[in-house]
Amino acid sequence: MAGLILACDFGGTKLSAAVLGAESLDRSDAAWQGHLRRFAPLGASAQTDIEMMVAMGRELLAGERPSHIGISFGGPVDYKSGVVRLSHHVPDWENVPIQQLFAEAFGAPVGVDNDANVAALGEWRFGAGRGVADLLYVTVSTGVGGGWILDGRPYRGASGMAGEIGHTVVDPSGPVCLCGKRGCVERLASGPYMAQDVAEARGLSLEAVTGKLVAEWAAAGEETAVSILERGAKGLGVGLGNAANLLNPSRIVLGGGVTKSGARWWQLVRQAAHETALPEVQFDIVPAQLGDDAPLWGAVALALLEGTVESH
Amino acid sequence: MAGLILACDFGGTKLSAAVLGAESLDRSDAAWQGHLRRFAPLGASAQTDIEMMVAMGRELLAGERPSHIGISFGGPVDYKSGVVRLSHHVPDWENVPIQQLFAEAFGAPVGVDNDANVAALGEWRFGAGRGVADLLYVTVSTGVGGGWILDGRPYRGASGMAGEIGHTVVDPSGPVCLCGKRGCVERLASGPYMAQDVAEARGLSLEAVTGKLVAEWAAAGEETAVSILERGAKGLGVGLGNAANLLNPSRIVLGGGVTKSGARWWQLVRQAAHETALPEVQFDIVPAQLGDDAPLWGAVALALLEGTVESH
């Protein structure tokens, strides 16, 4: 395989793009030939986002035509039609045919998917999931969401909604989630919800607490933070164990800011997950490896998939 | 496709076999050419079970050689190697290479899998799941177990353990399950556990109550039975909703004796499942159609799969 791969990440208010020579992918030191990151201006819309990303792509490609394009989008995407359904961050993204727009702009095949599925693909192809045929990737961050690799290929579900582990219920007597249910994994384990619970329990303003602070306070032994962080770790672990019983993946990869909460957090997540799964259901739980560039590496993996195997 | 398909069902103490002309499969009135059902004698072992099943096959085939053989086994099976891991009902089934034994006995390709996966295949090919690419089949009976069809093919997990919805946790403050956890779907929703809970609450002997009686008493308005049956229906529904959020199947098919518990049970299962799933995660929940012959029809579907697509 030869040519330049263009990887694009629409990450809410942050736009990133990079190019990679496809021939470098087989090398262990594969690295971007060019990389740009820009913040969308105040008053950004789908149209200004797209214009900015196309300009970044043209700048990186410097007149060359890409062989493949992969796009990660931070919001729901209809993978089959290549249409963005909406953005929770930027207006006017409803039903934008982004696959078609980029194919026309660059004259190359385009793959597009939501950020969780793309990150799963990236970790599978380039990161902590290499060599594994059955993989669950979960990001634990502002929200909790996931993506599947099953039988050696991405699995998206009947309407592209698979991976919503954040809204599986693990404690029906738990606190109420924005989705209306009690005890969702996201309600227990996401950064903003843990921060909210600590703020309320300690009588602090919501603005004064973040998920990162909860982890720091817990590390310093502050009791409320310890309790909320441990409840989150256990809730996430039960959700992962339930997912393991249902699908029997051999590996679970965790990414996102909350996974930086320390060894105790990891230990509790792993313990709850393995206690929840049947003894015959074996898997390991490992940290994601790709860091901030995960969506871009995932976009490369998606671009390669588009180019080499039949999409469904 | 032509030739005779031999379908075998090792169902604990009950052995069933049937033959079908492959050319009849495209007809809407496809029916068994021959069908035998026998009970294993007292003191049965793996060896006597196999001898009896081979004899039933020979009797049905009357000297003809089958084109394909499918086997449903009521216990864990290593699908890839075609080896039965063990039986919970009959001794000496540990690591029996049943695929190889039947291939040698009949000179035909053999597919073998556990009863939940086989039933999922059967409902997908011949029953309530026809035409659906993404399907969860769940049997709610003595236990609660399931099987997946994903992207139009069976999905078994990294080590063949996928589908263990019965041991997903939906209420960590619920009653203790034999697996050691609290509030598993099976603990709440299976026939024997519901019978046990009603017996204990009413001070009856365990032998005096069955899952079927719980459903009858609930239909007659007996309060304890109503409460236990409704708790089971809701617990199952939450488990199905969690599974829907995780995998986004378009249909869930429910089989097994507990699904005969009446309209109120179905209504509560459906309500809890749809309340648990996100609004964008859409699916229907329908009764299995194949009844007692489900494992045999599933074995036919498995045999066809072995004969036409690459096994993994």
Question: Diameter of chain B by CA atoms?
Answer: 59
Nearest to A278 by CA among B247, B235, B181: B181
pLDDT at A283: 98
State the pLDDT confidence band at B1, using cuts at 50, 70 and 90.
Answer: low
With CA atoms as reference, report the closest residue to B117 among B83, B148, B150: B148
What is the per-residue pLDDT for B305? Answer: 84
Residues in A 152-171 with any Cβ partner in B closer than 8 A: 153, 155-165, 167-171
Q: Is A271 on the interface with B (CB under 8 A)?
A: no
Sign of CA dihedral B76, B77, B83, B89: positive
Q: Which residue has the higher pLDDT, B11 or A104?
A: A104
Q: What is the pTM of this model?
A: 0.92
Phi and psi at residue A209, to the nearest 5°: -125, 135
Burial class for B95, CB neighbours closer than 10 Å (0-12, 13-18, 19+): exposed
Reported confidence tier of residue A291, pLDDT bands at 50, 70, 90:
confident
Amino acid at A74: G
Average pLDDT in chain A: 92
**Distance from the B215 Cα atom to the nearest Cα atom in chain A, whole angstroms:** 25
pLDDT band at B2 (very low <50, low <70, confident <90, very high): low
- C-alpha A282, offset from chain centre: 24
pLDDT of B90? 86
What type of residue is B272?
A
Query: Is B98 within 8 Å of B92 (Cβ atoms)?
Result: no
- Give the Cβ contact number of residue B212 at 10 Å: 14
Distance of alpha carbon B230 from alpha carbon B271, whole angstroms: 12
Question: Which pLDDT belongs to residue A2?
Answer: 67
A308 pLDDT band (50/70/90 cuts)?
A: very low
CB contact under 8 A, B169 and A241: yes
| pLDDT value of position A311 | 37
Instruction: Report pLDDT for A25.
Output: 80
Nearest-angstrom CA–CA distance, B170 and A216? 31
Residue B189: pLDDT band by 50, 70, 90 thresholds?
Answer: very high
- B163/B13: higher pLDDT: B163
A42 Ramachandran zone, left/alpha/beta (phi>0; psi -120 to 50): beta
pLDDT at A1: 57
Residue pair B112/B292 in contact by the 8 Å Cβ criterion: no
Enumerate residues 234 to 253 of chain A having a beta carbon within 8 A of any beta carbon in chain B. 238, 241-243, 245-250
The answer to which of A44-53, A270-279, A282-291, B74-83 has the lowest mean pLDDT is B74-83
pLDDT of B65 above 50: yes
Q: Which domains does chain B show, CATH number per domain?
A: 4-121+292-308 (3.30.420.40), 130-288 (3.30.420.40)
Longest CA–CA span in chain A (Å) reads 59
Give the model confidence (pLDDT) of B13-24 as tens digits: 789 999 999 888
Tokens 């036409």 appear where? B308
Residue B310 has pLDDT above 60, yes or no: no
Are B76 and A148 in contact (CB < 8 Å)? Answer: no
**3-state DSSP assignment of residue A135:** strand
- For residue A122, pLDDT over 80 is answered with yes
- Check pLDDT > 70 for residue A307: no
Element housing A83 (H / E)? strand A83-84
B209-218 tens-digit pLDDT: 999 999 999 9
Residue B273 and residue B279 in contact, taking contact as beta carbons nearer than 8 Å: no
Going by C-beta distance under 8 Å and a sequence separation of 6 or more, which residues neighbour residue B223?
A: none
Do the beta carbons of residue A216 and residue A250 sit within 8 Å? no
Instruction: Show residues of chain A in contact with B243, CB under 8 Å.
Output: 246
Backbone angles phi, psi at B162, to 5 degrees: -60, 150
pLDDT given for residue A24 in this prediction: 80
Phi, psi of B64 (to 5 degrees): -80, 155
H or E stretch including A55? helix A46-61
Contacts of B158 in chain A (CB under 8 A): 133-134, 248-250, 283
Instruction: Using a pLDDT cut of 90, give the percent of chain A over it.
Output: 80
User: What residues in A contact B276, CB-CB < 8 Å?
Assistant: 168-169, 181
Q: Is the pLDDT of residue A312 over 50?
A: no
Interface pTM (ipTM) of the complex?
Answer: 0.92
Number of helical (H) and strand (E) elements in chain A, helices listed first:
9, 12
Tokens in use for B10?
């090792």
Phi-psi region of A131 (alpha: psi -120 to 50; beta: other; left: phi over 0): left
Q: Is A106 left (phi over 0), alpha (psi -120 to 50) or beta?
A: alpha
Per the CB < 8 A criterion, the answer to whether B119 and B147 are in contact is yes
Segment B266-271 long-range contacts (CB within 8 Å, at least 24 positions apart): B266/B233, B268/B230, B268/B233, B268/B234, B268/B237, B269/B233, B269/B234, B269/B236, B269/B237, B269/B240, B270/B237, B271/B237
Q: Rounded to whole angstroms, how far apart are CA atoms A308 and B199? A: 60
Q: How many CB atoms are located within 10 Å of the residue B69 CB?
A: 30
Residue B309: its pLDDT value, please? Answer: 38
pLDDT tops 90 at residue B220: yes
Classify each residue of B158-188 as buried b or exposed e, where b means 16 or more C-beta atoms within 10 Å of its C-beta: bbbbbbbbbbbbbbbebeebebebebbbbbb
Query: Alpha helices, DSSP H only, in chain B?
Result: 46-61, 98-106, 115-126, 185-189, 191-202, 211-219, 223-247, 263-276, 294-308
Whether the per-residue pLDDT at B296 is higher than 90: the answer is: yes
State pLDDT tens for residues A3-18: 899 999 998 778 999 9
Please check whether residue A106 is in contact with residue A63, taking contact to mean a CB–CB distance below 8 angstroms.
Answer: no
Which of B156, B245, B249 is closest, CB to CB, to A167? B245
Assess contact for A79 and A160: CB atoms under 8 A: yes
- Sorting pLDDT into bands at 50, 70 and 90, what band is A309? very low
Mean pLDDT of the region A227-237:
98
Helices (H) and strands (E) in chain B, counts: 9, 12
Backbone angles phi, psi at A6, to 5 degrees: -100, 125
Question: Is the model's pLDDT at A30 over the cut of 80?
Answer: no
Let me know the angle formed at the C-alpha of B185 by B84 and B217, rounded to the nearest 5 degrees: 110
Q: Does A86 touch chain B (CB under 8 A)?
A: no
Interchain contact A131–B (C-beta under 8 A): no
Per-residue pLDDT band for B134 (boundaries 50, 70, 90) equals very high
Q: Which residues are bridge partners to B69 per DSSP?
A: B6, B110
Backbone angles phi, psi at B147, to 5 degrees: -145, 150
**A255 to chain B, closest Cα gap in Å:** 17
Q: What is the DSSP letter of A308?
A: H
| Residue-wise pLDDT tens digits, A258-283 | 999 999 999 999 999 999 999 999 99
Does the beta-carbon distance from A282 to B171 stay under 8 Å? no
What is the overall mean pLDDT for chain B? 92
